[in-house]
Amino acid sequence: TINVLRLDHRIGRDTRITTHVCLTARAFGASKVWLAGEEDHSMMRSVRDIADRWGGDFEIEYNNSYMEVIMNWREKGGKIVHLTMYGAQAHEVVDEVRESSDDILIIVGGAKVPTKVYKNADWNVSVTTQPHSEVAALAIFQHLLMEGKEFDLEFKDPVFEVIPTAHGKTVNVHNENRKLNKKE
C-alpha cells in the first residue's frame, strides 16, 4: 500500500497544487492521501468526485495532526519516506525502500517543513538536488517505487475511460447516470 501525506495545505493558495498532489498520487498507484494544514472541504469534494468518475478505490482524509498520521503508520510497521531536496538521492535508495515494507507513506511538504518530519522519516529522499515541486517529486518517486507498473494500473468501475490514441480523443463512458445519482 502506498499512502501520501500532504503537509500544511492552505486554502486558496494551495488548492490547485494539493489537488494535483492528490490526482498524481492516485494516478501513480497510491490508495490514499492524508491532508494536513487547513481543512479544505471543497477541494476534498472535488478530488473525490474526480476519483469517483475515473474509477478505483482512492481515499482522501483530513487529519489536522500530521504527527498522528506519522505515528500511526509507524506503529503499524509501515515505512516513511519524506521528500525533500536535502535528502538522499531517490534513485539510490528506492530499492531499499521498496524492499523494506509493503506499506510506504510518502510525505510531501508545504511552505515550511518542521524538523520533526525529517527526524521521523525512515528516509529523507530527494529527486535531484534542486528545488522544484511536490507534484514533480511525488510523480518521479512513485514511478521509481512502482518500477513503471503504474502505466498498467487498472482503475475499477470507471465512468470515464480513456482509450489511448496518438491523435484525437477517445473516451468510453460507462453508466454515467449511476455515478451522477450517487453524488446527489
Contact positions vs ligand SAM (CB under 6 A)? 83-85, 108-109, 112-113, 126-128, 130-134, 137
What are 150's three cell numbers?
A: 503504474
Q: Which residue is nearest to ligand SAM (CB)?
A: 109
User: How near is the Cβ of 163 to ligand SAM at its closest, in Å?
Assistant: 33
Return the axis-axis angle of helices 176-183 and 41-54, rounded to nearest 10°: 160
Decide whether 128 or 170 has the Cβ nearer to ligand SAM.
Answer: 128
Q: Min. distance of Cβ 124 from ligand SAM in angstroms? A: 9
Q: What's the CA gap between 102 and 98, in Å, rounded?
A: 7
Residues 22, 47: contact at Cβ < 8 Å?
Answer: yes
Residue closer to ligand SAM, measured from CB, 119 or 167: 119
Q: Pick between residue 108 and residue 145 the one whose CB is nearest to ligand SAM.
A: 108
In this complex, which beta carbon is closest to ligand SAM, that of residue 40 or of residue 134?
134
Q: How many CB atoms lie within 10 A of CB 167?
A: 5
35 versus 137: smaller Cβ distance to ligand SAM: 137
Supply the minimum distance, in Å, between the C-beta of residue 170 and ligand SAM. 34
Least distance between ligand SAM and beta carbon 101 (Å): 20
Q: Could you tell me the smallest distance in angstroms from the CB atom of residue 135 to ligand SAM?
A: 8
